[in-house]
Amino acid sequence: MKKNLLCAAMLFASCSAFAAEQHVHWDYSGDKGPENWAKLTPEFGACAGKNQTPVNLTGFIQADLKPLKFNYKVGGSQILNNGHTVQVVYDAGSNVVIDGVEYELKQFHFHAPSENEIKGESYPLEGHFVHADKNGNLAVVAVMFKEGKANPVLETLWAHLPAKEGDKIALTPAHNALDLLPKNHAYYRFSGSLTTPPCTEGVRWIVMKKPVFVSKAQIDAFKKVMGHDNNRPLQAVNAREILE
């Protein structure tokens, strides 16, 4: 399961354990849309689970959340379009420390509009920074983008936007993901899942409280490349606690 979880987080990148899933087409609308993901194949059964992401973050429980420690180095070396999102592949050597455990940054990607909501507010863009510890346990750091001034980091990334599914473009020079995070690292936390099939649960979700800015032109550029919204609908919180 740990291997499968990590492979899924890498969005099926060269993982033989997920060969079957690669042949199961899923989408964000129609017969293969989110409401039917769990029915497409038994391997997607978790999509009907009780601890799914995204959620509306509200009803917070006060908790003693320890500060996050980001140890990000320059490592975003390739940007690709997999048909479901635009993803930046990250070289080894960068991590975030959560509760004393190091989670290595594997990749980051984007959803428009946002998948999670904060107190009922949706954002035009959300970034997911996907990490894994040495045992394959996953942690996703989510950053909300609010429409406003142009984002200088996205400006350089978007200069290499892969226009077609399957396109991969080298990033020269490589990028530092830390530059996309808000300066204030206050966060919410909850237990959830991957937001795409196989929707595996047991993922640690860290949602940054403060958004960063993105321009309308940058939002529109991403949407034009994707050609469709790529956000999964909100899922029930059920018995979970959302900590702040």
pLDDT at 8 over 90: no
Considering 25, 84, 131, 175, which one is annotated as catalytic? Answer: 84
What pTM value is reported for the model? 0.92
Q: What is the rounded CA–CA span in Å between residue 24 and residue 198?
A: 10
Amino acid at 87: Q
128 among known catalytic residues: no
pLDDT at 19 over 90: no
**Per-residue pLDDT, 6:** 52
Digit-coded pLDDT (tens) for 106-145: 999 999 999 999 999 999 999 999 999 999 999 999 999 9
3-state secondary structure of 80: strand
Per-residue CA distances from 150 to 134, 172, 217 (Å): 36, 21, 8
pLDDT at 46 over 70: yes
Amino acid at 117: E
Digit-coded pLDDT (tens) for 196-230: 999 999 999 999 999 999 999 999 999 999 999 99
pLDDT at 18 over 50: no
**Per-residue pLDDT, 13:** 35
Residue 7: pLDDT band with limits 50, 70, 90: low
**Per-residue pLDDT, 5:** 53
pLDDT at 21 over 70: no
Average pLDDT over residues 35-48: 98
Q: Which domains does the chain have, with CATH numbers?
A: 2-226 (3.10.200.10)
Query: Average pLDDT, whole number, for the chain?
Result: 92
pLDDT at 9 over 90: no
Digit-coded pLDDT (tens) for 58-106: 999 999 999 999 999 999 999 999 999 999 999 999 999 999 999 999 9
Per-residue CA distances from 164 to 77, 79, 80 (Å): 19, 12, 9
Percentage of the chain beyond pLDDT 70 is: 91
**Per-residue pLDDT, 12:** 35
Does the CA dihedral 191-69-122-6 come out positive or negative?
A: negative
Digit-coded pLDDT (tens) for 162-190: 999 999 999 988 899 999 999 999 999 99
